Amino acid sequence: MIISASPSSRTATRYRGGLRAVGAAVCCGLMLSGPAAATAATAPATHTQAQHEERGRGTLVSAEKLYTLKTPQAVAAELGGAGFDDGTVRYGVVAYRLVYRTVDPHGRPTTASGLLVLPRNSERRLQAVSFAHGTGSHKDDSPSMRRGAFLSAPVIAHASAGAAGVAPDYLGMGKGPGLHPWMDIGSETTASLDMLRAARAFAPRTGHVLARKVMVTGFSQGASAALGLGRALQAGEDRWFRLGALAPVSGAYDFSGTELPALLEGRLEPKSSVLYAAYTLVAFNRLHHVYDSPGQVFQAPYDSTVEALFDGAHTGEQLMRGTPGTVDELLTEHGRELLAHPTGPLAAALHATDAVCTDWAPRAPVRLYMATGDEQADTANTEHCQDALLRNGVDAPAVDLGAVDYHGSRHLGSNVAATSAIVRWFGELRRR
């Protein structure tokens, strides 16, 4: 059952976090505060719109039609097969993979891909809904790579309700080159914004145009990414798009202050804690030089294998098999100390990651969605974000989705349950 708080109320419950392998994919686990560049040396520079255009950010490289669900009944079957509610379906949909130009965490040109899903036989003018997905280990753990699965179902659901569903795969995922800079808010933001630009450029080829206001949502890792995109839209980083509403789901918004302590203290599901601890050290080290050698932070034999598991070619199933059952078996004393008491470049990077709720005040409607008993993301993260926004003058209600499960995971269940709730809320806002 979905319990929606009124705009004036403030509710927060505690949820825990755990990573699950759904099929071959490690799906949508803990969502850190997203891409956050830690230092001036690694953070993307602030560019003017003219500089964006010179760099070609958002320029469409290619567009490929992936599939068509011609009727609402076909969409309902697709969503139902993925375990999602079909009660908001009004249109058939057409799905495309877009490849577009963007920048990497250092501001250098690169490309990324994403999923665009459009309603069939709908109005010409569409409001975009940007959906940022959860954590994956393989490049194919991306919306544009998996049809009708956990990752693409929310995008299909929004499109079938009459919106333009837009979902970046993130850097290094999908058809993007290189490694994925996990939890890097800066590059998650630029990849999301440039995907919107590419979608706007492509939409007229299908007989549509995209409206200015963008409804922004995201799950787990994507919850923080969604807040990063919302912040950029409100700051006017694009000439056309503006923030319409925010609906992040089950994020680890206070990663260093809430999530890492819960993970290290055994308050979260053990296996997911292992995977997130490993991913944190490996991903942050690639951008910020957290350790000199894997043996400093990972115990043998994992010190010789863990980094390779996060190369984008290993599946979630391989990740599960290649890691131990507890954090104590994975980390050295130094590795645990780094996560428990970050210093230097890691502390700076985590500070940027944790800023998605603290350093701005959304001027658009905001709701924070979470699930009771989430085994991957401590619900104190939602409380922290809610309190931070309130200190900045924003009263953002928390929506407790209750005890929702998906493949045995309360965390994954929050994405399924939140999708239909958010589709309805965004629809109400559009009608107003």
pLDDT band at 55 (very low <50, low <70, confident <90, very high): low
Query: Which runs of consecutive H residues, i.e. helices, occur in 27-98?
Result: 49-55, 72-81
What pLDDT, on a 0 to 100 scale, did the predictor assign at position 120? 97
Distance CA 197, CA 233 (A): 12
Distance CA 74, CA 92 (A): 7
What pLDDT, on a 0 to 100 scale, did the predictor assign at position 306? 97
Distance CA 268, CA 411 (A): 11
What pLDDT, on a 0 to 100 scale, did the predictor assign at position 178? 97
Lowest mean pLDDT of 10-14, 166-170, 270-274, name the range.
10-14
Residue 26 has pLDDT above 90, yes or no: no
Distance CA 227, CA 319 (A): 28
pLDDT 10s digits, 110-134: 999 999 999 999 999 999 999 999 9
Which residues 6+ apart lie within 8 Å of 264 measured at CB?
273, 277, 327, 336, 339, 340
Average pLDDT of span 12-26: 34
Tokens of 316: 């979630």
Residue 59 has pLDDT above 90, yes or no: yes
What pLDDT, on a 0 to 100 scale, did the predictor assign at position 15? 27
Query: Could you tell me the CA-to-CA distances from 148 to 8, 110, 145 in Å, in that order?
Result: 36, 28, 10
What is the DSSP track for 322-387?
Answer: TS-SSHHHHB-HHHHHHHHS--HHHHHHHHHHGGGTTS---SS-B-EEE-TT-BBS-THHHHHHHH
What pLDDT, on a 0 to 100 scale, did the predictor assign at position 400? 97
Going along the chain from its start, the domains and CATH numbers come out as 20-257+347-431 (3.40.50.1820)
The pTM of the whole model exceeds 0.75: yes
Which residues 6+ apart lie within 8 Å of 353 measured at CB?
32, 33, 34, 36, 183, 185, 224, 255, 256
pLDDT band at 53 (very low <50, low <70, confident <90, very high): low
Distance CA 203, CA 98 (A): 11
User: How many residues would you count in the chain?
Assistant: 432
103 strand-pairing partners: 109
